[in-house]
Amino acid sequence: MKATLLASAALALTTGLAAAGTTVESCNRTVSFDAPPERAISNDVNLTEMMLVLGLADRMVGYTGISGWKTLDEEMRAGVEELPELSAKYPSKEVLVGADADFFFAGWNYGMRVGGEVTPETLEPFGIKVYELTESCAHIMQTGKASIEDMYADLANLGKIFGVEDRATDLINGYRTELTAFTNRLETGEPLRTFVYDSGEDTPFTAGRYAMPTALIEAAGGVNILDDFEKSWATVTWEEVVERNPEVIVIVNYGEVTAEQKRDFMKSNPAFADIDAVKNDRFVTLEYVEATPGPRNIEAIKTLAEAFWAD
C-alpha cells in the first residue's frame, strides 16, 4: 500500500450526515442507514484494515477475531493501538451488545457462521447493523468468481455507509492505477498452475473459485488449479492436488503452524514427491492479511508475480 494505515487513520475526515438515507447491498440483503455508524466493530485483520485505510478508527469501539489466530505487524498495531480487542476469536452476541455497538463489519466465516449465534438477523433487535464481506457471500448465495472488484466494492460500500465516499473513491482509483501500471509491465508466459495451501495435513484447506487468492493468482499470471472448485475456502483431498500437479504452491501464513513448517511438510512427504512445485522447490508465502480481501491485495499480486516470473 502506498499510504500507510497510520497516515490514513490520522486523516481528519468529515462523516457528518453524508450517509443519511444511505442503502447498500450486502450479500442478499439491502441495508439502510439513517446516519453513519458511530460505534462500529470489525472482525478479522483484513476487514479491520479496510476500516483503517478509510480513516474510520475514531468511529470504532473495538475489533474482534485477530489475536486468537494471527499477529499484527507494526503498521497494523499502530492503527489499532487506541482500540480494544473485544474478543480474540469470533465474538459472541453478548460481546457486541455489551460494547453498545451500532455496526458490525464481518463476513460468513469471518466472524459469523451460518446458523450461528451472531448473524445479521440475531443482531438486528439490538440495533446493530451488519455489512457482510463480499467474498464471504458465496457461503449463503450464488455469486460470481472471486475478483479484485469484490474488495473495491467493500471499500465503496463502507465509504457510503460512513459518509466518506470521496476517500473511498480516491483509494479505489489509486489501487486501480497502481495495479494497471504493474500488470501492463508484467511479462508472463503460459499461466502457471498454482495451489493455495492454507492449512491441514490430513486434508488440505484451500481456496476455491470464490476465494480471493483465485483472483490474485490470475492477476499475477497464474491459474488456481482448483478454479473449478465451487467453494470459497474449503477442504479438498491430497489426491486431487497431486493429480492436478501444481507448478507453484502458495502458502498462507498464519496460526501456530508456520509457513516454513507447511513447506517442510510438503517437501518431506513422499506422496508429493512428483508434484512439479515440490520437485522444483517453487513455494511463495502470502500473509493471511494479503491473501484475504483487503488493502494489501495489490502488494500480494506483486509478490505472486515476482515468484511466478522472476526468472
- This prediction has a pTM of 0.91
Q: Percentage of the chain with pLDDT > 70?
A: 93
- pLDDT tens-place string over residues 18-37: 456 899 999 999 999 999 99
Which residues fall within 8 angstroms of residue 21, CB to CB, at 6 or more apart?
32, 33, 34
Q: What angle do CA 141, 142, 145 make, to 5 degrees?
A: 125
Domains of the chain: 5-176 (3.40.50.1980), 192-309 (3.40.50.1980)
User: Which residue, 143, 22, 41, 26, is CA-closest to 86?
Assistant: 41
CA–CA separation, 56 and 11 (whole Å): 9
State the Cα–Cα distance between residues 3 and 13, nearest whole angstrom. Answer: 16
Of 180, 171, 217, 185, whose CA–CA distance to 2 is shortest?
171
Residue 224: phi and psi, rounded to 5, are -70, 125
CA distance 108 to 56: 22
pLDDT tens-digit profile of 115-128? Answer: 999 999 999 999 99
